[in-house]
Structure 1
Amino acid sequence: MKETILIIEDNVEMCENIADILKLENYEVISANNGKEGVKLAISAMPDLILCDIMMPELDGYGVLHVLGKHPNTSDTPFIFLTAKSEKADFRKGMSLGADDYLVKPFDGMELLKTLEIRLKRNRKLKTAFENEPKDLGEFFDRAKELNGFENLSDKKLVKQFKKKDFVFREGQSAGTLYYLVEGEIKTNRINEDGKEFITGIFTPGQYIGYVALLRNIPYTENAVAMTDITVEMIVKEDFHLLVNTNRLVAAKFMKILSNNVLEAEKRLVELAYQSVRQRVASVILTLCDREPSQNKDAGTINMLRRDIAGIVGTALETLNRTITDFREEGLIEIIEGGVRIVDRRGLERTSR
Structure 2
Amino acid sequence: MNKKVLLIEDDKIVRENTAEILELANYIVETAENGKKGVSLANTFLPDIIICDILMPVLDGYGVLQIISKNPKLKQIPFIFLTAKTNQDDLRKGMEFGADDYICKPFEESVLLRAIETRMKRVEVFENKKQDDAEKQNIKKPIFENIKNFDQFLAQKKVYNYKNGETIYCEGNVSNFIFLIKKGVVKTYKTNELGKELITGYYTNEQYFGYLSFVKHLPHFENSKAITSTHLYKINKDELTAIINNNHHIIYSFIDVLADNLVNNNEKSILLAYASVRKKTAITILNLFENYPLISNNEIIINRSNLASSIGIAKETLIRTLHDFKDEKLIDITTKSIKILNKKKLLEVQ
Residues 294, 302 of structure 2: 8 Å contact kept: no
Aligned position for 2:104:
none
In structure 2, relative to structure 1, the CA distance for the partners of 1:295 and 1:200 (3 Å cut) is closer
Residues 23-59 of structure 1: per-residue CA shift (max 9 Å, x gap): xxxxxxxxxxxxxxxxxxxxxxxxxxxxxxxxxxxxx
Q: CA deviation at 1:245?
A: 4.5
How do 1:1-353 residues align onto structure 2 when only pairs under 5 Å count? 126=148, 129-130=149-150, 137=151, 139-141=152-154, 156-292=156-292, 296=296, 299-351=297-349
In structure 2, relative to structure 1, the CA distance for the partners of 1:290 and 1:175 (3 Å cut) is same
State the one-letter code of the partner of 2:211: Y
TM-score (norm 2): 0.55
Q: CA deviation at 1:186?
A: 0.6
In structure 2, relative to structure 1, the CA distance for the partners of 1:314 and 1:292 (3 Å cut) is closer
Q: CA deviation at 1:295?
A: 7.0
State the one-letter code of the partner of 2:333: I
TM-score (norm 1): 0.54
In structure 2, relative to structure 1, the CA distance for the partners of 1:322 and 1:266 (3 Å cut) is same
**Separation in 1 of the partners of 2:292 and 2:269?**
23
Q: CA deviation at 1:347?
A: 2.0
Q: CA deviation at 1:231?
A: 1.0
**Separation in 1 of the partners of 2:294 and 2:164?**
23
State the one-letter code of the partner of 1:236: N
Residues 179, 209 of structure 2: 8 Å contact kept: yes
Residues 245, 251 of structure 1: 8 Å contact kept: no
Q: CA deviation at 1:292?
A: 4.6
Residues 161, 230 of structure 2: 8 Å contact kept: yes
Residues 243, 251 of structure 1: 8 Å contact kept: no
Q: CA deviation at 1:349?
A: 2.0
State the one-letter code of the partner of 1:195: G
In structure 2, relative to structure 1, the CA distance for the partners of 1:302 and 1:259 (3 Å cut) is same
**Separation in 2 of the partners of 1:336 and 1:218?**
41
Figure out how many residues of one structure are paired with residues of the other and give that number: 206
Aligned position for 1:147:
none
SS in 2 for 1:254: helix
**Separation in 1 of the partners of 2:346 and 2:183?**
30
Residues 186, 203 of structure 2: 8 Å contact kept: yes
Q: CA deviation at 1:222?
A: 0.9
In structure 2, relative to structure 1, the CA distance for the partners of 1:287 and 1:266 (3 Å cut) is same
SS in 2 for 1:271: helix
**Separation in 2 of the partners of 1:141 and 1:341?**
37
Residues 158, 235 of structure 1: 8 Å contact kept: no
Q: Which structure has the larger Rg over C-alpha atoms?
A: 2
**Separation in 2 of the partners of 1:281 and 1:249?**
39
State the one-letter code of the partner of 2:279: Q
SS in 1 for 2:212: helix
**Separation in 2 of the partners of 1:245 and 1:224?**
29
Residues 86-137 of structure 1: per-residue CA shift (max 9 Å, x gap): xxxxxxxxxxxxxxxxxxxxxxxxxxxxxxxxxxxx99x72xx34xxxxxx3
SS in 1 for 2:221: coil
Residues 214-242 of structure 1: per-residue CA shift (max 9 Å, x gap): 21112111111111111112213321232
SS in 2 for 1:158: coil
State the one-letter code of the partner of 2:271: E
Give structure 2 stretches of 5+ with no counterpart.
Answer: 1-144
Q: CA deviation at 1:337?
A: 3.8
**Separation in 2 of the partners of 1:245 and 1:218?**
22
Residues 300, 343 of structure 1: 8 Å contact kept: no
Give structure 1 stretches of 5+ with no counterpart.
Answer: 1-121, 131-136, 143-155
**Separation in 1 of the partners of 2:182 and 2:197?**
25
**Separation in 1 of the partners of 2:313 and 2:266?**
18
Residues 187, 203 of structure 2: 8 Å contact kept: yes
Residues 191, 197 of structure 2: 8 Å contact kept: yes
**Separation in 1 of the partners of 2:245 and 2:251?**
7
**Separation in 2 of the partners of 1:214 and 1:178?**
7
SS in 1 for 2:219: coil
